[in-house]
Amino acid sequence: MIKNHGHNHREVELTHGSLHVFANDEVFHSLEQNVYVMADHNLQIPRSVHMSYTPDAHIGIGTCIGTTAIWNMKDGFVSPSIVGSDIGCGMRVHLTPLHKRDIEDKQLRRELIKAIEKYVAVNERGFSHYKNIRVEKILTEGIHGLPPQYVPDYYTPKQRRSITHVEHDKFEVDPTDFQDLPDKMWARAWAQVGTLGGGNHFIEIQHIRIAEEKRDIAEKWGLFDGQVVVMIHSGSRAWGGMLGPRYTKDFKASMHLWGVGTPDPNLVYAPIQSEAGKRYLNLMYSALNYAVVNRHMIAYGVHQGMKDLFGEDFKMPVLYDLMHNYALREPHRNQLMLVHRKGTTRALPAGHYLNREAYKETGHPALIPGSMGTASYIMVGEEAGVKNFYSICHGAGRLRSRRATKELISVDQFAKSMKVGTDDEILVNQRTLESILDECPQAYKDVDQIIDSVVGANLASVVAECKPMAVIKGI
């Protein structure tokens, strides 16, 4: 049974509970049946408070990407499957003083790509340029664990954007849980600080167009029409990636002892207050610390490349950094809850007390990537977002698997979407488009339909549209 609440909000009754779906008619009717099967498996975890899909929802491992799932802290459950494997994966945007016309020349943009690649390792294995960063410090202290040379505004209280303009600059972590982690994790974590990684991770040079109805907010955030911004998408790299499988195995063993389970062997969970649950949350928060630092250091490298081209005085302040794969303790309905967001973004409205001080008045920027040939968006949460615990989409969401994309989409189609050969060509760092065909725009849903769904549901509003000019992809 489907209950239509209006404003792109439907409630789907499944065998084991209700699933809230926030999508316009076109997106809702395009959702495949398996997403509901997966939701029903998730709803078999006891005492669920709320579960929803944003319009970018698509099949994942154990849980759909685009899921918000919530339990009470006192008697609820935590699930590594609903957090996802790339713990702390998220978005970051930096402002520049440049206007679109300043980098319209294609040769200049090619030089910019090369300058950035000089400082940011983009291969999948990654090899950090920053050997004086102590991994245990950033895992337990977040940005505060970095050497001062990488956080030059740290000691200027009125200008500490590196600390104040991020969703979380530090999660509390008990390092005693690190004791039995394998040396391989530590070695890879050390080697990957400030590296991009492969898959859908990217650095994108964009220009923006401000939404007229949100111009006052845009100006308060330091945005202007035609402005060049830098958008970064990456996560906790191997540290988070290696935690997931490790604790999936541990959780499976515990579930077997308790005599509980679900039809999906990839879906695991444990009571929040159990030893397994507490340990997983603690280590998950270490991965969140790593992820924020990783994006910070990627941005540091981008800034070095920018200074090589535009001069030592070039400024590139952070607008915001946020995550879309995690489980956070948050107060809702006068209770402390554990909010899992797997491929969903928190979008707090103006005045919400969980906003960082810099964004109390306006609400914080919610950063929503499209695909390398389409627009991305900077949004702001609305009061009505309370109905979905202030969760919105995290991007366009995949339409096709990587394999299906390679089978169905030609390199010529990809090239056309990137405007290859025109003055408006979106430049990429790869030698051939064929090498990144599985990440082409045709692999993703129509981001404009996704944004229309979110806006129509009154969850968030568009502040600025971001058009790509140059893209750096990991390999």
Q: Check the annotation: does 50 bind a ligand.
A: no
Query: If you average pLDDT over residues 46-63, what whole number do you get?
Result: 96
The residues with which 90 forms a beta bridge, in sequence order, are 234, 323
Task: Identify whether 22 is part of a domain.
Answer: yes
Q: Give the model's confidence band at 49: pLDDT under 50 very low, under 70 low, under 90 confident, else very high.
A: very high
Separation of alpha carbons 328 and 463, rounded Å: 26
Task: Identify whether 423 is part of a domain.
Answer: no
- Whole-angstrom CA distances from 287 to 60, 124, 175, 255, 320 are 20, 18, 12, 24, 19
Q: Are strands 427-428 and 460-473 parallel, antiparallel or unpaired?
A: parallel
Q: Is the dihedral of CA 96, 99, 104, 107 positive or negative?
A: negative
- Tell me if residue 394 is catalytic: yes
Q: Check the annotation: does 86 bind a ligand.
A: yes
Q: Check the annotation: does 389 bind a ligand.
A: no
Q: Check the annotation: does 200 bind a ligand.
A: yes
Total count of domains within the chain: 1
Q: Check the annotation: does 261 bind a ligand.
A: no
203 within 8 A of 231, measured Cβ to Cβ = yes
Q: Check the annotation: does 203 bind a ligand.
A: yes
Q: Which of 139-153, 250-264, 288-302 has the lowest mean pLDDT?
A: 250-264
The phi, psi pair for 93, rounded to 5°, reads -130, 135
Mean pLDDT of the chain: 94
The active-site residue out of 58, 168, 340, 394 is 394
Task: Identify whether 277 is part of a domain.
Answer: yes
Task: Identify whether 172 is part of a domain.
Answer: yes
Coil vs helix vs strand at 182: coil
Q: Check the annotation: does 282 bind a ligand.
A: no
Does residue 124 have a pLDDT over 80? no
Element (H, E) at 14: strand 9-14
Q: What is the CATH number for 22?
A: 3.90.1860.10
pLDDT in tens, 59-108: 999 999 999 999 999 999 999 999 998 999 999 999 999 999 999 999 99
DSSP label of 101? G
Higher pLDDT, 475 or 212: 212
Question: pLDDT at position 450, please?
Answer: 97
pLDDT in tens, 162-171: 999 999 999 9
Question: pLDDT at position 104, please?
Answer: 96
The DSSP secondary structure of 316-351, one letter per residue, reads --EEEEEESEEEEEEEETTEEEEEEEESEEE-PPTT
pLDDT in tens, 287-322: 999 999 999 999 999 999 999 999 999 999 999 999
Task: Identify whether 271 is part of a domain.
Answer: yes
Question: pLDDT at position 300, please?
Answer: 97
Q: Which domain holds residue 308?
A: 2-399+444-473
Separation of alpha carbons 248 and 213, rounded Å: 46
* Nearest CA-CA partner of 374 in 236, 223, 202: 202
Task: Identify whether 294 is part of a domain.
Answer: yes
Q: Give the model's confidence band at 401: pLDDT under 50 very low, under 70 low, under 90 confident, else very high.
A: confident
Query: If you average pLDDT over residues 19-41, what whole number do you get?
Result: 97
Query: If you average pLDDT over residues 210-230, what whole number do you get?
Result: 98
Task: Identify whether 38 is part of a domain.
Answer: yes
Half-sphere exposure of 58 (CA within 13 A, CB side): 16
339 within 8 A of 328, measured Cβ to Cβ = yes
Task: Identify whether 432 is part of a domain.
Answer: no
Question: pLDDT at position 126, please?
Answer: 62
Question: pLDDT at position 125, please?
Answer: 65
Q: Check the annotation: does 426 bind a ligand.
A: no
* Nearest CA-CA partner of 425 in 370, 373, 475: 373
Does residue 436 have a pLDDT over 70? yes
Token pair listed for 451: 């944004």
Strand stretches in 275-434, DSSP E = 318-323, 325-332, 335-342, 344-346, 365-368, 376-381, 391-393, 427-428
